[in-house]
Amino acid sequence: MSEIRQDSTRKTVDFRGGGFAPQSRKWVGIVVFVVLIGFIELGTRTGFITNLTLPIPSDVFATFVDLWQSGLLWKHLLPSIMRLIVGASIGVSLGIGIGILIGLFSLIRAGLVPLVAAIFPIPKIALLPLFVIWFGIDETSKYALIAFGTFTPTVVATYGAVDNVDRSLIRMGQSFSLSWFSIVRKIVLPGAMPGILSGLRISLAIAIILLVAAEMLGAEFGIGAYILEAGSLYDLERLFVGVTILSILGVFVSLGIGVIEKRLLNWRV
Amino acid sequence: MSEIRQDSTRKTVDFRGGGFAPQSRKWVGIVVFVVLIGFIELGTRTGFITNLTLPIPSDVFATFVDLWQSGLLWKHLLPSIMRLIVGASIGVSLGIGIGILIGLFSLIRAGLVPLVAAIFPIPKIALLPLFVIWFGIDETSKYALIAFGTFTPTVVATYGAVDNVDRSLIRMGQSFSLSWFSIVRKIVLPGAMPGILSGLRISLAIAIILLVAAEMLGAEFGIGAYILEAGSLYDLERLFVGVTILSILGVFVSLGIGVIEKRLLNWRV
Amino acid sequence: MDLRLEAVGHHYGDLEVLSEIDLAIPAGKIVCIVGPSGCGKSTLLRLIGGLEQPTTGQIVQIGTPPTDSINPLTYVFQDFALLPWRTVEGNISLVLEDHRMPSARVTEIIANVLARTKLTEFAKAYPKQLSGGMKQRVAIARALAVKPAILLMDEPLSALDSQTRELLMDDLVGLWTRDPFTSVYVTHNLNEAVRLGHSIVVLSRRPGRIREIVDVTIPLGERELGDPELERQQKHLWNLMRDEALAADKELLNV
Amino acid sequence: MDLRLEAVGHHYGDLEVLSEIDLAIPAGKIVCIVGPSGCGKSTLLRLIGGLEQPTTGQIVQIGTPPTDSINPLTYVFQDFALLPWRTVEGNISLVLEDHRMPSARVTEIIANVLARTKLTEFAKAYPKQLSGGMKQRVAIARALAVKPAILLMDEPLSALDSQTRELLMDDLVGLWTRDPFTSVYVTHNLNEAVRLGHSIVVLSRRPGRIREIVDVTIPLGERELGDPELERQQKHLWNLMRDEALAADKELLNV
Amino acid sequence: TSYAADTKINVGALRFTSHAASFVAFERGYFKDEGLDVEFKFFQAAQPMAVAVASKDVDYAVTAISGGLISLAEKGAAKVIGGALMEDPAIDGQKILVSDAAFKDGMTEPSKLDGRSFAMTQSGSSFHYMGAKIAAKEGIAVSFKPLQKVGAIIGALKSGQVDAWSIVPHIAKPLDGSGAVHIIGNVADYIPDYQVTVVFTSADKAANDRDTSLAFLRAFSKGADDFNAALVDKTAGDEAAEEMVKLVHKYVYTDRPYEKAAPSIRNGAMRISPNAALNTASVQDQLDWFKSEKLVKDSVTIDTLVDSSYAN
Ligand SMILES: Nc1ncnc2c1ncn2[C@@H]1O[C@H](COP(=O)(O)OP(=O)(O)OP(=O)(O)O)[C@@H](O)[C@H]1O
Ligand SMILES: Nc1ncnc2c1ncn2[C@@H]1O[C@H](COP(=O)(O)OP(=O)(O)OP(=O)(O)O)[C@@H](O)[C@H]1O
Ligand SMILES: [Mg+2]
Ligand SMILES: [Mg+2]
C-alpha cells in the first residue's frame, strides 16, 4: 500500500447527510391543542371572537359534563355505536366479499367495476327520501345508509388489494399444485389483508361521517341526532360537544384498526 | 450426456398455470347497465316496482332531455362546476402545501397530524350552521365547505406520499451536495407526485359528494340545489337526473385524473 | 423419470421467445440453462413445469415419477416465494396440506427436510427474521418436502450476495451428493453453471435457441473454487456469450 | 487528495457497528472493502462520504481536491439511485444544476461523460427503458460528471446479473486505465474485489474491525477471468471469511 | 276497551309545541279511550315524516302543506284528513322577522322589504309560501334563499346575511329578545285563516281504515281542545296552564330545565283547529300557489290532496 503525504493540509470530511427522517415528538401535538383551545377561550371570553362565531371552550366542556352527568351521553352514544357497528359490518363484509369476487373473476370485474365507479360519487344524503321508502324509518334505514356508504370504498380497496397480491406467490401455489380454493384462502386472502385493513380505515371514517346523515332519518337518540338538534337551534355549545364526540370516536376507531393491524399483520417487515 | 430410456410410458406435462390475471372485457359493463336499467323500466312500468320506490328510467331520461332543452341544465351545472373548481383548488392546494410541510418537518408533523386526525371524522354537514356565520351564504361558504372537505384527505395523502419517497434518492441528492431546496423541489416533490395524484382521486370524489351539502347553503342554482329541491318535493325523476349527473361528473373527473397521471407519470414502470 | 423437450417453441402474442428447443433431461442429473437476459430461460422453465403451455412442440415425461413423489415437478424461485405470514414450518406445511396426510406424517416430513437443510432451530421463525440465504434454504426445504422427481430452479441464488451464494452452492452439492436429484437449473451466473451442472445448455438471444451443450465431467463433489478445468470451461462459456450479453444489455426496453 | 480514517468507530444507539478503524486511502488507488453481511461496510462508506458522522475518531482529507472537482466525494449506489422521472441526460444535469455553470459547459460535460461510458445514444432514454447494467452505467457517468476526487462505490454491481457484472467490471477497469481515479469500493463479491482492488480490506463481523489488508500487485489492466494468482487470492479471502459469512447468514434479524 | 283489542298505530311527530295536541291526547289517555295504542316516531324534519307516512312506517302525522306532501299525494301515497295548527288573528301567531342590520337599514315593516332577501328552508316549503304571499300583498318583490335548515337560517339572520324570515312565535320571540333580530309583523295580517299544518295519513288508510282514522281525529281534537283551553285561550286557569306546560315539556326541550323551557313552550302556543277542522279554502289557496310556481304538477286537484269525506 502506497504511503500518504504527511505534510499536507488536513481537514475533516464535511457532514452533509441527515434530515428527511421524521422523529416522533408526541408532546407537540398536545401543546398545539392546548394553545389552540386556550386561544379560543381567551378570544371568546374577551369578545375578540364573537359568541356567534365560536362557543367558549370551557362552556363546551361544561355542557359535556352536564351531558355526562345526566346520563344522556350514553343514551346518545350507545345507539350511534350500535348503528356504526351493524351498518359498517354489513357494508364492510359485503364490500370485502364483492371486492374479492371482482379481484378473482374477470367477468364480475368487468360487470361491477363501472357500476361501483358510478355509485361512488353519489352523495348519500341525496338519497335520504328514498331510503325512508326502501328501508323504513327504524334502525334498518340507518344501518342501510351506513352500510351503503362504507360499501363502495371497501369494494375499491379490496379489489385493489387483491390485484396487488404478489403474483409470484400465486405462481408458487400453482407450481405446488395447490387447489384453486387453497390458493385463494391461503395466499390471496392473507396477501390482500393489509390493503383491506387500510381501506377499512377510510370506510370507518366515512361511517362516522354518515352517522349524522343516517340520524336525520327519525332518530331520537344518537350523536348525529344530538348534533342536528343543536344545529337547528343554533346551540353552539352542544354542537361542538357532539362534533368533538364524533372526532374522538374517529380517533378511537383509527387506533383500534392500528391495534388490529399490529396483531394481524405482525408478519410485515 | 446420458441416454434416456425410449421404451417407457410417455405423457405430456400437465398444465396447471393460468388464471388470477384480470382480462379486460369492456362490453360486460355496458351489458350490466343496460340489463339493470331495462329491468327497472319493466318493473316500474308493470307496477311490480311501485312508483314510490323508483322512477321509470325513461321518464328520468325525458326529464333530463327537458332540463337540457330548457337550458336549465347549464344554469345548474355551471355554478356547481365553478364551486367544485374553486373549492377543490383551494382545499387541494392548501392540503398539498400543509402535507408537504408535515412530510418535511418533524415539528410541524408532530403538531398538525393529531389535529388533522381529529378533524377527519367531523361530518361537514354538522358544521353548516357555523359555515353560514363564518363565510356567509354566498359563494364563499360553498367554496369553504368544499375546500374544507377536500383539505383533510389531501393532507393525509400528501404527507403519506412524501414519506414514501425513496430515501435512497434523497441520500443520493445529499451525496452530490445538492441544496436542501433542490432536493425538495427536484426529488421529494416529483417522487411524491404519484401518491398525491391518487389522493386527488379521492379528494375530488369527496368534493362532488360535498356539492349537495355546500348547496344547502342558500344556493338557488346548482346540481346539489336541484337534487335537494327534488328531494324535498319527492320528485323522483328529477332526483335521479341530478344524482346521475353527479355520477357522470365523478366518472369524468376520475378519467381526467387518469389522463393527468398518464401525462405526468409516464416515467413510471 | 426423465423429461424430453421436443421442438418446443413459444410466443407471447407476436413476440417469439423460444424456438425449436430439443432437450433431454435425464434422471439424476443437473442440467443448467444459461443465456443472455430476456432470451426465454424463465419461460422455458415455466413450460417445463406446466405453468405455461408451449405454442408449438411438446414436453413429455418418460417413465412415471416415484410413487411417493407428491409433486413431481417442483420449483425453487429466485425471489424465494415464501408466504411472509407463515413461519418456516407453516410455509412447508402449506404444500402438504392439500394432500390429506395424517398430521404425524406432515410433522415427520417437515422435521426431516428442516434437518437436511440445517434449519431445525428456525422452524418457528418468520421469513422477515431470516437473511436471504436462509430464506432460500427454506424454499429448498419446502421443495424437498414434496419429494420432487425433478427440481426446477430459476436463478435460485441470484438474489443472494456472493458469499451466501458460495455457501448455498456447497449446500446444494451436499444435498445432491447424499441423494442425487434431477434438476433443471436456470442461471445467469457461469460460475454457478460450471460448479453445479452436469451439462450446461447455452441459449442464444431471443428467440432462444440452443447454441451449444457443454458437458462437465468432473464429479460434483470434487469441483472447487478456482479449479483450473472449471475456469477454462467458464471462460469458454463467457466467450460464447459475451457479445450477446452486451447486445442484450444495450437493448431499450419498451415498457 | 488522500483520505485517512483515524480510530473511527460508530454506534447506532446501543448497537456498535464499527470499531477502531484506521485506514489510509491513497490517491489513484482502488481500495476494496469486503466483509460479512451487516458488518458495517455501508456505514463506513457513509461516514467517509460525510453522509453520517462517526461516533468516535475522525476522517480527514489530506491535501485539497483538484480545483475542477465539483463534488470531491461522490457515490455510486447499489440501487443506481436514478430519478425515474428524468432522462439519462436529466439525471446527469441534476448534479450540475446547483453549481450555476453556463449551459454550454453543462452540455459539454454531459456529452463527455456519456461518451466515456458509451451512453451517447441513450441520452434521451428514461431509466425504465434501460437494463440494470445500463442504469449503473448512467450512475457512473453521473458520478464522473462532477469530477470526483474520490469515488465511493457501495456494491455497485450487486444488483446486476453476473454477465452484466462481468461487462461492467471491464468498463470500470477501462475507465481507470485511461484516467486513474481514487475509489473506495465496498463489495460482498470476492471476485470483484480481486479484479478491481489495489488493496482489499477485510472486515470482521459486527462490530466491524479490520482483520487483514490484502494487496494485489497485478496491474488492473492485466487481471483476467481465471488468472491463477487472482484465484489464489480469492480463495485465501474466502477461507478468511467463510465461517463469519456462515454465522452472519444464520443470524435472526429482529425487525 | 281491552288492551288486546287496541289498534296499534304509529304517530309521527316533531318535538315542537305545534305538535302538542298529539302529546296531550297520549298523556291524557284520549287515544287509549278510542282504542288506539299509539307509539310516537320522532323526526328531525317534516319532509322525511311525510315520506314515512307514504312508506307506511308512520300511520298519522301532522305537518305543514309542502310541495313534498302534495307530490306524495299525487303519487297516491298520502291524503290530508284534517287540520291542525292555524293562524288566528286574535292569537299571537307566526311572526315576520328581519335581521338587526336590515332593521337599522330602515326595514321596520314588511312593505319595505322590496328587493330584499327572504329565508326559507327549501323551495316549496311553508316559508316559501308565506314569503310569497306577503310579497304579493305588499306588491313588492323579494328574493328567496334556500338554507335547508332552521339552524342555518337563524345563523344567517343573526349575522345579517338574509334580511327577512317568518317563523312560529316560540322561535321568533327569543330571537327578538336577543336584539340580533326584530319582529316587524304578523303572518296572520297577510294570510288570515292560514291553515298552517294539517293531519294526514296514507291514502290507503284514509280510504280503507276509516274507523281508525276517525278515532285518531277524535282523540287528537280532544287533545287540541285541552291545549287551546290551557295555553291559547287561557280559559282553564293558571294551574291547568302550568300543568299543560309540564306535560308538553315531557316531549319538547326535554334537555333543558323546566324553568328555561316553560317560556318557550308558552310562546309557542298557537291555536290548533278545533275538531281537526280543515280550512279548505286556505288549502286550496296554497295548492294554487304551488301550481303557479310549477313546484307541483298541474294535474293535482284538491281532491288528490284532501280526502273530503273527513272534512267536517
Ligand atoms: N407473460 C409474458 N407476456 C409477454 N411477454 C413476456 C411474458 N413473460 C416474459 N415475456 C417476454 O419474453 C421474453 C423472455 O422472458 P424470460 O423471462 O423468459 O427471459 P429470461 O431469459 O428469463 O430473462 P432474465 O435473464 O431477465 O430472467 C422477454 O422479452 C420478456 O419480456
Ligand atoms: N440508520 C441505521 N439505524 C440503525 N441501525 C442501522 C442503521 N443503518 C445500519 N444499521 C445497522 O448497522 C449494521 C451495519 O449496517 P451496514 O448496512 O453498514 O452493513 P453492511 O456491511 O453494509 O451490510 P450488507 O452487507 O448487508 O450491505 C446492521 O446491523 C444494520 O442493521
Ligand atoms: Mg428469468
Ligand atoms: Mg451494505
pLDDT tens-place string over residues E175-214: 888 888 999 999 999 998 899 999 999 999 999 989 999 9
DSSP label of C251: P
pLDDT at B4 over 60: no
Residue A189 distance to chain C (closest CA, Å)? 11
Percentage of chain A exceeding pLDDT 90: 51
Q: What spacing in Å lies between the alpha carbon of A158 and ligand 4's midpoint? A: 36
Give the CB-side neighbour count of residue E77, counting CA atoms within 13 A. 22
Q: Got the DSSP string for chain E?
A: --GGGPEEEEEEEESSGGGHHHHHHHHTTHHHHTTEEEEEEEESSHHHHHHHHHTTS-SEEEEE--HHHHHHHHTTSEEEEEE-BB--TTS---EEEEEHHHHHTT--SGGGGTT-EEEESSTTSHHHHHHHHHHHHHT---EEEE-SSHHHHHHHHHTTSS-EEEE-HHHHHHHHHHTSEEEEEEGGGTSTT-B-EEEEEEHHHHHH-HHHHHHHHHHHHHHHHHHIIIIIS--S-HHHHHHHHHHHHTTSSTTS-HHHHHHHHHHT---B-GGG---HHHHHHHHHHHHHTTSS-TT--HHHHB-TTT--
Question: Closest to D60 (Cβ–Cβ): which among A1, A12, A18?
Answer: A12
pLDDT tens-digit map of A146-191 = 999 999 999 999 999 999 899 899 999 999 999 999 999 999 999 9
Cβ–Cβ < 8 Å for A128, A210? no
CA dihedral E76→A131→B231→E79, nearest 10 degrees, is 20
Contact across the interface for B118 and A250, Cβ inside 8 Å? yes
Contact across the interface for E151 and A225, Cβ inside 8 Å? no
Burial of C111 (0-12, 13-18, 19+ CB in 10 A): middle
Question: Residue C154's pLDDT is what?
Answer: 95
CA distances from A142 to A134, A137, B177, D15 (A): 11, 8, 59, 55
- Quick check: helix, strand or coil at residue B137? coil
Burial of C168 (0-12, 13-18, 19+ CB in 10 A): buried
Please state whether C63 falls in left (phi above 0), alpha (psi between -120 and 50) or beta: left
Alpha-carbon distance A91 to A145, whole Å? 9
Contact across the interface for B17 and C46, Cβ inside 8 Å? yes
D239 touching chain C per CB within 8 A:
no
**Where does the pLDDT of residue E1 fall: very low under 50, low under 70, confident under 90, or very high at 90 and above?**
very low
Question: Residue A23's pLDDT is what?
Answer: 75
> What are the cell numbers at C34?
444459461
Q: Which residues contact B50 (CB under 8 A, 6 or more apart)?
A: none
Q: Is C10 in the pocket of ligand 1 (CB under 6 A)?
A: no
> What are the cell numbers at D133?
447494467
Phi, psi for E125 (deg, rounded to 5):
-90, 170
pLDDT tens-digit map of A16-68 = 887 787 777 778 888 999 999 999 999 999 988 887 788 999 999 999 999 99
What integer is the mean pLDDT of D209-235?
A: 89
Question: Closest to A1 (Cβ–Cβ): which among D52, D64, D199?
Answer: D199
Kindly give the pairing relationship between strand E95-99 and strand E78-83: unpaired
Q: What spacing in Å lies between the alpha carbon of E13 and ligand 3's midpoint? A: 72
Alpha-carbon distance B209 to A122, whole Å? 6
Average pLDDT, chain E: 88
Residue D84 distance to chain C (closest CA, Å)? 13
- Quick check: helix, strand or coil at residue C226? coil
Q: Scanning every residue of chain B, which has its alpha carbon at the shortest distance from the alpha carbon of C51?
A: B17
Q: Range with the lowest mean pLDDT among C183-192, D72-81, D172-181, E252-261?
A: E252-261
pLDDT tens-digit map of B78-105 = 999 999 999 999 999 999 999 999 999 9
Residue B199 distance to chain D (closest CA, Å)? 19
Long-range contacts of E89-92 (CB under 8 A, 24+ apart): E89/E188, E89/E189, E89/E192, E91/E232, E91/E269, E91/E270, E91/E271, E92/E169, E92/E186, E92/E267, E92/E270
**Where does the pLDDT of residue B132 fall: very low under 50, low under 70, confident under 90, or very high at 90 and above?**
confident
**Where does the pLDDT of residue E312 fall: very low under 50, low under 70, confident under 90, or very high at 90 and above?**
low
* Mutation test residue for ligand 1: of C18, C34, C41, C47, the one with most atoms within 8 Å of CB: C41
Burial of D67 (0-12, 13-18, 19+ CB in 10 A): exposed
Closest ligand to the CA of D43: 2
Q: Range with the lowest mean pLDDT among D14-18, E35-39, E167-171, E305-309?
A: E167-171
Alpha-carbon distance A236 to A213, whole Å? 19
Other beta carbons within 10 angstroms of residue D6's beta carbon come to: 16
Question: Residue B6's pLDDT is what?
Answer: 53
Question: Closest to B17 (Cβ–Cβ): which among A111, A163, A174?
Answer: A174
Alpha-carbon distance E111 to E182, whole Å? 15
What integer is the mean pLDDT of E32-37?
A: 91
What integer is the mean pLDDT of D40-55?
A: 93
Residue B190: its chain D contacts at CB < 8 A?
83, 85
pLDDT tens-digit map of C1-23 = 889 999 999 999 889 999 999 99
**Where does the pLDDT of residue E311 fall: very low under 50, low under 70, confident under 90, or very high at 90 and above?**
low
CA distances from C219 to A13, C31, C194 (A): 53, 14, 11
pLDDT at A5 over 70: no
What lines the ligand 2 site, CB under 6 Å?
A: D 12, 15, 17, 35, 37-43, 188, 206
Length of chain A in terms of residues written:
269
pLDDT tens-digit map of B161-218 = 999 899 899 999 999 999 999 999 999 999 999 999 989 988 999 999 999 889 888 7
Contact across the interface for D98 and B269, Cβ inside 8 Å? no
Cβ–Cβ < 8 Å for D51, A17? yes
Contact across the interface for B4 and C4, Cβ inside 8 Å? yes
Cβ–Cβ < 8 Å for C50, C73? yes
Which is nearest to A238 in space by CA: B146, C188, B126, C215?
B126
Closest residue by Cα to atom 1, ligand 2, is D12
Alpha-carbon distance B248 to C160, whole Å? 51
Q: Scanning every residue of chain E, which has its alpha carbon at the shortest distance from the alpha carbon of B137?
A: E161
Structure ipTM: 0.86
> What are the cell numbers at D117?
461510458
Q: Scanning every residue of chain D, which has its alpha carbon at the shortest distance from the alpha carbon of A14?
A: D50
Residue window 173-212, chain A: list those with CB within 8 Å of chain B. Answer: 174-175, 177, 180, 183, 188, 202, 205, 208-212
Q: What spacing in Å lies between the alpha carbon of E179 and ligand 4's midpoint? A: 75
> What are the cell numbers at A255?
387506533
| pTM of the predicted protein model | 0.88
Cβ–Cβ < 8 Å for C225, C234? no
